[in-house]
């Protein structure tokens, strides 16, 4: 056995130690009273026994309370050396074939428009479905649109990874990022699809994709086709 490094400050400053000492003192009082005569003190010894039991019970939760004069609890809360952190998959962040494949797949479905336009629900859009900060008259080159899409794919993957717990095959990740890029990471993370994936039902998660085929409350054929394509890529990736 080995003493903790600051055993002196813990022994003198810990409230649980103080309560245990108090409990021990109170526990002796009934014996003392029994010896000297309860009538002399005018107190029922059973009351002292009850108080002693109560203080002993209080000492149990006191052990986990913050100790005002000790830094043990603060150091314990700050220490993350034994923590288990969720691994961020980030398959697209490194670039390469995976990112290029994602750009091609998502870009083909989004379609390239180098001049700003209103989408099917009236939102100003440009390049491969980019909507953030887009204004009428905005123009970009194809290379600029490709770079913009690549950045967005990496960002959407990171957002999806914050709620998608398991590592998944690259093909499935492309399909899911394509879907999240289309519906938004907030909706994606709240979905039954992600819940199924996190529960280990990856095939069931893939099969949820066709349900996301509406825009403005109506079923859109283009979205239905896209979801079926994403579903096919998702399930195919699970076969390898």
Q: Which of 110, 130, 152, 157 is catalytic?
A: 110
**DSSP string covering 188-205:** HHTSHHHHHHHTT-HHHH
Q: Is the distance from CB of 129 to CB of 182 less than 8 angstroms? A: yes
Cα-Cα-Cα-Cα dihedral sign, residues 184, 187, 193, 196 = positive
Copy the structure tokens of residue 154. Answer: 């990496």
Catalytic residue (choose from 6, 119, 208, 230): 119
The strand pair at 218-219 and 124-127 is best described as: unpaired
What is the three-class DSSP state of 111?
A: coil
- Nearest alpha carbon to residue 163 among 193, 130, 122: 193
Distance from first CA to last CA of the chain, Å, rounded?
52
- How far apart are alpha carbons 148 and 185 in whole angstroms? 17
Residue 119 is a catalytic residue: yes
Q: How far, in Å, CA of 218 to CA of 198, rounded? A: 29
Residues 6+ apart with CB under 8 A from 137: 115, 116
Give which of 21, 5, 9, 17 is closest to 63, Cα–Cα: 17
Bridge partners, residue 115, by sequence: 139
Residue 166's SS3 state is coil
Q: Which residues are catalytic?
A: 110, 119
């Amino acid at each position: 056995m080995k003493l903790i490094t600051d055993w002196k400050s813990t022994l003198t400053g810990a409230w649980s130690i103080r309560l245990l000492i108090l409990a021990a003192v109170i526990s002796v009082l009934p014996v003392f009273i029994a010896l000297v005569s309860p009538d002399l003190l005018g107190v029922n010894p059973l009351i002292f026994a009850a108080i002693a039991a109560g203080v002993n019970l209080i000492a149990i939760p006191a052990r986990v309370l913050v100790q005002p004069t000790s830094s043990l609890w603060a150091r314990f809360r700050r220490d993350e050396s034994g923590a288990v952190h969720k691994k961020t998959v980030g398959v697209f962040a490194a670039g390469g074939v995976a990112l290029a494949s994602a750009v091609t797949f998502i870009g083909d479905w989004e379609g390239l428009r180098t001049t700003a336009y209103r989408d099917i629900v009236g939102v100003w859009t440009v390049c491969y479905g980019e909507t953030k900060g887009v204004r009428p008259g905005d123009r970009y080159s194809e290379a600029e649109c490709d770079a913009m899409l690549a950045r967005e794919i990496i960002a959407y993957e990171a957002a999806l990874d914050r709620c998608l717990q398991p590592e998944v095959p690259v093909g499935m990740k492309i399909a899911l990022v394509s879907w999240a890029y289309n519906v938004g990471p907030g909706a994606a993370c709240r979905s039954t699809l992600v819940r199924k994936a996190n529960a280990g039902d990856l095939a069931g998660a893939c099969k949820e994709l066709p349900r996301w085929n509406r825009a403005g409350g109506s079923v859109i054929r283009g979205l239905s086709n896209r979801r079926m394509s994403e579903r096919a890529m998702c399930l195919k990736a699970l076969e390898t």
